[in-house]
Structure 1
Amino acid sequence: MRSSPGTVCVLAVLVTALSAGCQSAPGTLGGNGGPGGGRTAAVSPSPLRTSGYGAVFLGVDECSSFGRTSFTEVSCDGERAAARVVARHDGTVRDGPRCPATTDFVLHIGEQRPASGEDGKGGDAAVPRGYACMRNLQPPHPGDPGGGGGPRTIVGDCVRGLDDGRVRETACDGEGERRPEYRVTDAVDARSECPASTTLYVRLGGGTPVGCAEPL
């Protein structure tokens, strides 16, 4: 990027907006407070259908299919398997643990109560409200560094500025909708620990909540 008065002004606006703790809307980054960061790459439509492949619906190391109207738990050895659960938590993304750094997308699982049998003693086991952190079985992996997606922003990811002062993650290879403008080079505890070349601070959350980003 060329250094010019206009460029410096734009950077100042971005840094100020991020330091003020702007709230991230779906699809944007810069306020990654929950386990899924500022957004989730995919939200499951309703309903999620169980299939009895494990004691816990979509438990760790179990697999799901991809569907337009629902996601189904399937055998990981089957041809319909598309993604594997790398972490599974009850509750909501906002209040629960963060997904692993290279999670590709998050499935939100609504509570499902057991169906009553003819004898009134109930049928299937209940599924509590929760979320599953998913990793595609085959590339692409948007959650990888520079992949342009995933629920978290991590070192190696690229972002571009939005008109309202927030930033959005985009693929570092420039294959996304817009070309990247900055790359996150470090994750640190405080801004003072960022390299001198840092021109943008991105809120990452977690143990090292400050992302140091440099212009591309």
Structure 2
Amino acid sequence: MRMSGAGTTACVGALLAAALGLAGCQRESGSGTGRSTGSATGRVAESGPGAAFLAVDECGSRGRVSVTEVPCGSERAAARVIARHDGRAGTGPRCPARTDFVLHISRAGSAVDEDGDGAVAQGYACMRNLEPPHPGDPGGGGGPRTVVGDCVYGEGRGEVRETACDGSGRRTPQYRVTAATSARALCPPDTDLYVTLGGARPVGCAARL
């Protein structure tokens, strides 16, 4: 996701959140563009009751080092898989807009290890928390995608980050994405910042709060 303003340019950097947390990060500039992404990462232990690890509609436990597949009715279940893709999240299909966090799945101890970190990428799962909060919802202050209804604030050095629109986050929201269009010229007149969202309507129109 990218942002730029009607007097502000934006270019975004990815913010890595801790295992199951999320936040969007972006660089802001007068009337340019920027990108914003948020994704949760974690080494996943490939074990669980299903034939395929964390397939769509299966659930995972909450953990900082590893995530285990568990029955969705279990008291350990924390989030459900709403989409599952092979490969790397940066080059594969985008997760649904309501995704709360992206879980990068890797197999430890494989004979093939591209970067020497002890794990080989197997794919990624788009996860939705079973209970609130839902940072991926519009205005929720996180998630791997910026969507209409989300809010951001300026952090200095040309950067902006996503924050909860209701003010419950650590920072006060300054802009809200009010519309998604195919071109900047189609944004409402009160647009102060443009956000590159991707997809069929890649331009996000954000107004100052």
TM range (shorter): 0.7 to 0.9
Match 1:90 to one of 67, 79, 86: 86
User: What does residue range 142-181 of structure 1 map to in structure 2 within 5 Å?
Assistant: 142-181=135-174
Match 1:198 to one of 181, 184, 191: 191
2:66 corresponds to = 70
Structure 2 unaligned blocks of 5 or more: 16-23, 28-33, 112-119
**Count of paired positions:** 183
CA distance in structure 2 between the partners assigned to 1:11 and 1:139 by the alignment: 35
Structure 1 unaligned blocks of 5 or more: 1-9, 116-126
Q: Rate the CA distance shift 1:143–1:74 in 2: closer, same or farther, 3 A.
A: same
1:135 corresponds to = 128
CA distance in structure 1 between the partners assigned to 2:203 and 2:161 by the alignment: 16
Contact 2:48 2:68 in 1 (8 A): no
Contact 1:155 1:187 in 2 (8 A): yes
* Deviation at residue 194 of structure 1 after TM alignment: 0.2
2:127 aligned counterpart, secondary structure: strand
TM-score (norm 1): 0.78
Between Structure 1 and Structure 2, which shows a larger proportion of strand residues?
2
User: What does residue range 41-80 of structure 1 map to in structure 2 within 5 Å?
Assistant: 42-44=40-42, 46=43, 48-80=44-76
1:210 corresponds to = 203
CA distance in structure 2 between the partners assigned to 1:173 and 1:92 by the alignment: 33
CA distance in structure 2 between the partners assigned to 1:199 and 1:106 by the alignment: 30
Deviation string for 1:68-110 (max 9, x for gaps)? Answer: 2211111111110010000000100110000000100010011
1:104 corresponds to = 100
2:13 corresponds to = 24
TM-score (norm 2): 0.81
The one-letter code of the counterpart of 1:24 is G
